[in-house]
């Protein structure tokens, strides 16, 4: 082994503590990068494979009733390769022991054969026996949430008649990766499930022999989808067709895309920041480590070494970088598997196959090497530029100016050293500060998700949707229906709501959502503006969720096309009167009386918002189950839990990982910065000890500098964190909900404490070195 390589190994051993912490910081950055990206890629790949293998439909339409011959004509629309007419009904489900009202969607295929579109994947049990009408298949999510399996029975209220079914299998469907009940913004697997029965059952119960009320189709690749959809609308119009739509408006797909987009955004924004920051730190730390070897570089140069020196330090950097990257990639892959495994309850694909895109480890290694080698080689160059004789001498005293002298006249010397050290070494201070500053935003980026979710729950469910339950009717009913609900057990307050499915049009943009009619007396559903003030729908015009107005590029005063998608399908044009701050969902609102006028109705009710006496809630649920006119009951408590369990859980899973890594990086960063700071000042500190300063007094000077640096870095870091979070959230707006930049004071507190705590622990560790500093060696090191 060459002498220079022996030096390499010994240097590494001497600096092992630092080398390992640097490698760990880097490994953390790489691991977050690899795991997030691979988990996300795996999800996308799994979704893609699942859609392809199960032949997920391209277009969807529902209608009142059409003869099966219409389906054959639909199959002839240019671009359509396959159609499947079906029977689909939302029904009330009876599950033994369930106190909450349960609803379900029953699907029967039009032809008796096995489905060719939206193929079911059987998880347990078997498929339906077409000869046995009492058999039923149930989605796995519902089965798990209600602890049901093959052999169990459930009942369903079909067109007013209760029928008992035996579960023969649990299934997955590409159409219901997320199953969201009607009128619910989020999935609730305990209270809503999808069921498959043989065609005869539904045809018989709803008198639909030879007919269908729902159709799905697959289009040829590259087919003209808008053309197909309008042809569908045209054909189904006389059969009571609702508007046909493609995948983009399919609930499960839309929700899945939102979740994936969110995962993708998280994976595409935060991990690269982690990686870049750790590469940057590596750059800085390597540079400073090399600079502390100034005399050795000079000595080597004097001996006639030249390119070998650069190579030597490049190897030194590689010795830190490569194990760090290797460890990071390995733990990233392990963590990626763990993440994918934790996604299982949320993303119900038959298979979640791990997929690591090759470019991810390559990019991570390249960025890390670039940071590490760049820092080391840059520093070697700057030392090597000096003539050996010059470099062998200690560096000339750094230049200071008297800029701050007057201001600091009466200040104790240690603060002068600290202040001038900071003010007059902009580069060193800047680099240290930057290192310390990045720690806090990293922690904030992980912590704030919890705050944001809490804020959403507070605003959406405590301030805005204040009803304990919302009862939805199968069809709109006359005003007296409210009275019936009011008389149900446990009801303290009942307010009528008119909710109607609509399509909003603005120029070529359109969006399908629900329009809710509210009166100025409505207490249980309130609209809020950006400052959380209550907004009452004006007598004229429409209110929209802010994101919906933005999506449709509407400004207050613009006319909005309003197509009702039920009943007589009325059309109108209404001016946009204002926007409201909905955090979940995109909705439209209007004054109740104005809506009645548009629909030519008189106080028709489609839903009732209810405030409940908590002690009698179960009686209330039982009563709703006995009322056939009620299609669904949505409960605020469940909505909150669903929000926390679905989007919340997935977001927090990632956020938790980010917090863990951000802490590693923050601690590594702070320790290394202070450690190198100590190295750079060790001679100065030894000198003070020689002059008769006690270790305590010398430490005070050193700590004063740390205090100045950390004291400046923490507030700057928190400010940077705030802006970074805001910036991050620009990328995070999804259609279903928006994450407000609501960082709670406690998160600032924790981020600051963590950085401060890391500084204190580092200071203590370094302080031990200061106490044990060998003065003779420190002097010899220089002379």
Q: Which of residues 422-461 bind other proteins (CB under 8 A)?
A: 424
Q: Which of 330, 687, 712, 744 binds other proteins (CB under 8 A)?
A: 687
Question: CB of residue 693 vs other proteins: minimum separation in angstroms?
Answer: 7
416 lines the binding site for other proteins (CB under 8 A): yes
Question: CB of residue 337 vs other proteins: minimum separation in angstroms?
Answer: 49
Question: CA 218 to CA 149: how far, in whole Å?
Answer: 32
Count of residues that bind other proteins according to CB under 8 A? 34
Which CB sits closer to other proteins, 359 or 400? 400
- Does residue 366 come out as left (phi exceeding 0), alpha (psi in the -120 to 50 range) or beta? alpha
Interacting span for other proteins (CB under 8 A) from 41-49, 273-281, 361-369, 679-687: 679-687
Question: CA 473 to CA 609: how far, in whole Å?
Answer: 12
Of 146, 158, 95, 106, residue with least CA distance to 128: 106
Question: CB of residue 772 vs other proteins: minimum separation in angstroms?
Answer: 10
Which CB sits closer to other proteins, 199 or 428? 428
Question: CB of residue 688 vs other proteins: minimum separation in angstroms?
Answer: 7
Interacting span for other proteins (CB under 8 A) from 358-366, 487-495, 576-584, 688-696: 688-696
Question: CB of residue 6 vs other proteins: minimum separation in angstroms?
Answer: 14
Interacting span for other proteins (CB under 8 A) from 453-461, 517-525, 559-567, 683-691: 683-691
- Does residue 557 come out as left (phi exceeding 0), alpha (psi in the -120 to 50 range) or beta? left
Q: Give the chain's length.
A: 783
Question: CB of residue 302 vs other proteins: minimum separation in angstroms?
Answer: 18
Q: Which of 97, 160, 226, 397 binds other proteins (CB under 8 A)?
A: 397
Three-state SS annotation for 54-107: HCCCCEEEEEEEEEHHHHHHHCCCCCEEEEEEEEEEEEEEECCCCCCCEEEEEE
Question: CA 280 to CA 278: how far, in whole Å?
Answer: 5
Interacting span for other proteins (CB under 8 A) from 200-208, 415-423, 514-522, 641-649: 415-423
Question: CB of residue 385 vs other proteins: minimum separation in angstroms?
Answer: 19
3-state secondary structure of 475: strand
Which residues lie across from 81 on neighbouring strands? none
692 lines the binding site for other proteins (CB under 8 A): yes
Question: CB of residue 288 vs other proteins: minimum separation in angstroms?
Answer: 17
Interacting span for other proteins (CB under 8 A) from 90-98, 159-167, 259-267, 412-420: 412-420
Which CB sits closer to other proteins, 693 or 722? 693
Angle between helix 251-291 and 426-456 (nearest 10):
160
Helix (H) or strand (E) holding 16: helix 16-54
Residue pair 196/137 in contact by the 8 Å Cβ criterion: yes
Q: Which of residues 762-781 bind other proteins (CB under 8 A)?
A: 775-776, 779
Question: What are the tokens at 227?
Answer: 């053309």
Interacting span for other proteins (CB under 8 A) from 58-66, 83-91, 530-538, 681-689: 681-689
Of 620, 643, 629, 636, residue with least CA distance to 101: 620
Interacting span for other proteins (CB under 8 A) from 13-21, 629-637, 680-688, 725-733: 680-688
CB atoms within 10 A of CB 396: 7
Q: What is the dihedral sign for C-alpha 261, 262, 263, 269?
A: positive
244 lines the binding site for other proteins (CB under 8 A): no
Q: Which of 341, 359, 400, 749 binds other proteins (CB under 8 A)?
A: 400
Question: CB of residue 416 vs other proteins: minimum separation in angstroms?
Answer: 6
Which CB sits closer to other proteins, 64 or 782? 782
Question: CA 275 to CA 270: how far, in whole Å?
Answer: 9
Interacting span for other proteins (CB under 8 A) from 269-277, 382-390, 393-401, 605-613: 393-401
Question: CA 117 to CA 121: how far, in whole Å?
Answer: 12
Q: Which of 302, 556, 690, 731 binds other proteins (CB under 8 A)?
A: 690
Interacting span for other proteins (CB under 8 A) from 156-164, 409-417, 728-736, 754-762: 409-417
745 lines the binding site for other proteins (CB under 8 A): no
Helix (H) or strand (E) holding 543: strand 542-545
Question: CA 768 to CA 163: how far, in whole Å?
Answer: 78
Q: Which of residues 198-237 bind other proteins (CB under 8 A)?
A: none
Question: CB of residue 704 vs other proteins: minimum separation in angstroms?
Answer: 12
15 lines the binding site for other proteins (CB under 8 A): no
402 lines the binding site for other proteins (CB under 8 A): yes
Residue pair 204/134 in contact by the 8 Å Cβ criterion: no
Interacting span for other proteins (CB under 8 A) from 104-112, 128-136, 401-409, 599-607: 401-409
Question: CB of residue 670 vs other proteins: minimum separation in angstroms?
Answer: 23
Q: Which of 29, 271, 374, 421 binds other proteins (CB under 8 A)?
A: 421
Q: Which of 695, 711, 741, 781 binds other proteins (CB under 8 A)?
A: 695
Q: Which of 97, 160, 385, 783 binds other proteins (CB under 8 A)?
A: 783
Side-chain-side CA neighbours of 746 within 13 Å: the count stands at: 6
Which CB sits closer to other proteins, 183 or 695? 695
Residue pair 537/527 in contact by the 8 Å Cβ criterion: yes
Q: Which of 67, 240, 412, 715 binds other proteins (CB under 8 A)?
A: 412
Which residue shows structure tokens 């062998």? Answer: 392
Question: CA 14 to CA 21: how far, in whole Å?
Answer: 13
* Alpha helix (H) residue ranges in 303-355: 307-343
413 lines the binding site for other proteins (CB under 8 A): yes
48 burial (CB, 10 Å; 0-12 / 13-18 / 19+) is: exposed
Q: Which of 697, 719, 730, 746 binds other proteins (CB under 8 A)?
A: 697
Residue pair 630/471 in contact by the 8 Å Cβ criterion: yes
Which CB sits closer to other proteins, 386 or 572? 386
> How far is CA 33 from each of CA 27, 115, 400, 434, rounded to the nearest angstrom?
10, 41, 42, 21
Question: CB of residue 770 vs other proteins: minimum separation in angstroms?
Answer: 13
Secondary structure of the chain: what % helix, strand, coil (to 5)? Answer: 55, 20, 25
Q: Which of 327, 354, 511, 693 binds other proteins (CB under 8 A)?
A: 693
Interacting span for other proteins (CB under 8 A) from 382-390, 566-574, 693-701, 756-764: 693-701
DSSP state, residue 411: S
Three-state SS annotation for 480-511: CHHHHHHCCCCEEEEEEEEEEEEEEEECCEEE
394 lines the binding site for other proteins (CB under 8 A): yes
Q: Which of 348, 420, 498, 638 binds other proteins (CB under 8 A)?
A: 420
- Residue 135 has phi, psi (to 5 degrees) of -90, 150
Question: CA 263 to CA 266: how far, in whole Å?
Answer: 5
Q: Which of 53, 246, 684, 735 binds other proteins (CB under 8 A)?
A: 684
Which CB sits closer to other proteins, 302 or 730? 302
9 lines the binding site for other proteins (CB under 8 A): no
- Residue 270 has phi, psi (to 5 degrees) of -70, -50
- Summarize as ranges the residues that interact with other proteins (CB under 8 A): 393-394, 396-402, 405, 412-413, 416-417, 420-421, 424, 683-684, 687-695, 697, 775-776, 779, 782-783
């Amino acid at each position: 082994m060459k002498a220079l390589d022996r030096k390499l190994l010994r240097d590494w051993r001497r600096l092992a503590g630092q080398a390992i912490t640097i490698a760990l910081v880097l490994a953390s950055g790489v691991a977050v990068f690899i795991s997030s990206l691979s988990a996300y890629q795996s999800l996308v790949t799994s979704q893609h494979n699942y859609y392809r293998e199960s032949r997920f439909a391209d277009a969807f339409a529902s209608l009142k009733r059409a003869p099966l011959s219409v389906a054959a004509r639909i199959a002839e629309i240019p671009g359509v390769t396959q159609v499947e007419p079906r029977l689909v009904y939302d029904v009330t489900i009876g599950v033994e022991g369930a106190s909450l009202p349960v609803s379900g969607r029953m699907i029967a295929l039009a032809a008796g054969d096995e489905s060719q579109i939206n193929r079911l994947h059987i998880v347990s049990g078997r498929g339906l026996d077409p000869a046995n009408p009492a058999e039923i298949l149930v989605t796995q999510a519902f089965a798990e949430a209600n602890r049901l399996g093959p052999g169990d029975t459930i009942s369903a209220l079909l067109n007013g008649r209760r029928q008992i079914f035996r579960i023969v299998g649990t299934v997955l469907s590409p159409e219901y990766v997320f199953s969201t009940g009607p009128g619910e913004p989020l999935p609730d697997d305990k209270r809503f499930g999808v069921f498959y029965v043989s065609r005869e059952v539904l045809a018989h119960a709803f008198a639909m022999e030879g007919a269908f009320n729902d159709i799905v189709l697959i289009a040829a690749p590259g087919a003209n989808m808008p053309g197909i959809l309008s042809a569908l609308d045209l054909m189904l119009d006389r059969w009571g067709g609702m508007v046909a739509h493609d995948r983009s408006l399919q609930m499960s797909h839309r929700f899945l895309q939102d979740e994936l987009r969110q995962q993708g955004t998280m994976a595409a924004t935060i991990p690269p920041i982690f990686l870049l920051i750790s590469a940057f730190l590596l750059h800085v730390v390597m540079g400073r480590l090399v600079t502390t070897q100034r005399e050795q570089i000079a000595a080597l140069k004097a001996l006639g070494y030249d390119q070998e020196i650069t190579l030597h330090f490049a190897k030194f950097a590689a010795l830190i970088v490569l194990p760090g990257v290797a460890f990071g990639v390995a733990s990233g892959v392990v963590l990626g598997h763990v993440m994918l495994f934790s996604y299982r309850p949320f993303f119900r694909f038959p298979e979640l196959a791990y997929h690591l895109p090759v470019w991810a480890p390559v990019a991570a290694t390249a960025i890390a090497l670039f940071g590490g080698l760049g820092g080391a080689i840059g520093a070697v160059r700057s030392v090597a530029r000096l003539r050996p004789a010059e470099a062998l001498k200690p560096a000339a005293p750094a230049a200071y100016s008297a800029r701050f002298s007057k201001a600091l006249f009466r200040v104790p010397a240690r603060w002068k050293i600290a202040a001038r050290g900071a003010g007059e070494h902009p580069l060193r201070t800047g680099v240290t500060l930057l290192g310390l500053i990045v720690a806090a935003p990293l922690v904030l980026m992980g912590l704030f998700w919890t705050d944001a979710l809490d804020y959403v729950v507070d605003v959406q469910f405590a301030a805005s949707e204040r009803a304990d339950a919302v009862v939805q009717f199968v069809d709109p009913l006359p005003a007296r229906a409210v009275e019936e609900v009011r008389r149900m057990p446990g009801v303290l307050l009942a307010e009528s709501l008119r909710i109607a499915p609509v399509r909003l049009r603005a120029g070529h943009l359109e969006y399908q959502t629900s329009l809710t009619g509210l009166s100025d007396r409505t207490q249980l559903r309130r609209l809020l503006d950006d400052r959380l003030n209550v907004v009452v729908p004006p007598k004229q015009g429409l209110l929209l969720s802010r994101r919906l107005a933005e999506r449709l590029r509407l400004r207050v005063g613009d006319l909005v096309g309003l197509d009702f998608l039920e009943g007589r399908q009325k059309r109108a044009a209404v001016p946009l009167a204002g926007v409201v701050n909905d955090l979940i969902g995109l909705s439209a609102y209007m004054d109740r009386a104005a809506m009645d006028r548009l629909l030519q109705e008189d106080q028709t009710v489609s839903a009732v918002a209810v405030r409940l006496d908590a002690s009698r809630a179960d009686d209330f649920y039982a009563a709703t189950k006995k009322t056939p006119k009620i299609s669904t009951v949505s409960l605020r408590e469940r909505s909150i839990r669903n929000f926390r369990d679905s989007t919340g859980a997935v977001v927090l899973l990632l956020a938790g990982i980010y917090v863990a890594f951000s802490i590693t990086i923050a601690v590594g960063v702070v320790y290394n910065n202070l450690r190198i700071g100590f190295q750079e000042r060790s001679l100065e500190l030894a000198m003070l000890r020689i002059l008769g300063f006690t270790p305590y007094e010398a430490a005070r000077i050193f700590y004063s500098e740390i205090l100045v640096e950390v004291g400046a870095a923490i507030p700057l870091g928190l400010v940077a964190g705030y802006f970074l979070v805001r910036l991050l959230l620009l990328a995070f707006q999804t259609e279903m909900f928006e994450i407000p930049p609501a960082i709670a004071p406690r998160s600032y507190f924790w981020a600051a404490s963590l950085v401060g705590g890391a500084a204190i622990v580092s200071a203590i560790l370094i302080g031990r070195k200061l106490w044990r500093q060998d003065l003779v060696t420190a002097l010899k090191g220089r002379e």
